[in-house]
């Protein structure tokens, strides 16, 4: 899997597993929500600084954003419309 795809998959997985919306993660990270959405769709290449800020906001080491998922890992589902806001 390409690095851009790994970043997209891992950012989305970590974000959804924590119940955080794109808007909330983007705000806490200091980036635009549409840019974050582009990262998750693999249409933008993030800089190391952006990856570092995303990892810090999610509370993980930056290396976790490029780790290959296991074969048994399930794809992240979308957050429900009535999701609770989670503070970071």
Residue 2 — left, alpha, or beta (φ > 0 → left; ψ -120 to 50 → alpha)? beta
What is the pLDDT, as a whole number, of residue 73?
58
Domain with residue 58: its CATH number is 1.10.260.40
Domains in the chain: how many in total? 1
Domain-located, residue 83: no
Domain-located, residue 32: yes
Domain-located, residue 42: yes
Domain-located, residue 85: no
Cβ atoms of residues 53 and 31 within 8 Å: yes
Reported pTM: 0.78
- pLDDT (tens digit per residue) in 6-19: 999 999 999 999 99
- pLDDT (tens digit per residue) in 32-87: 999 999 999 999 999 999 999 999 999 999 999 999 977 665 655 665 555 555 55
Domain-located, residue 75: no
């Amino acid at each position: 899997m390409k690095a851009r795809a790994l970043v997209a998959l891992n950012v989305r997985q970590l974000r959804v597993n924590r119940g955080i919306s794109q808007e909330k993660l983007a705000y806490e990270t200091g980036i635009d929500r549409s840019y974050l959405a582009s990262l998750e769709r693999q249409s933008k290449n993030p800089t190391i600084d952006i990856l570092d800020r995303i990892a810090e906001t999610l509370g993980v080491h930056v290396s976790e954003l490029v780790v290959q998922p296991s074969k048994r890992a399930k794809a992240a589902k979308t957050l429900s419309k009535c999701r609770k806001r989670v503070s970071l």
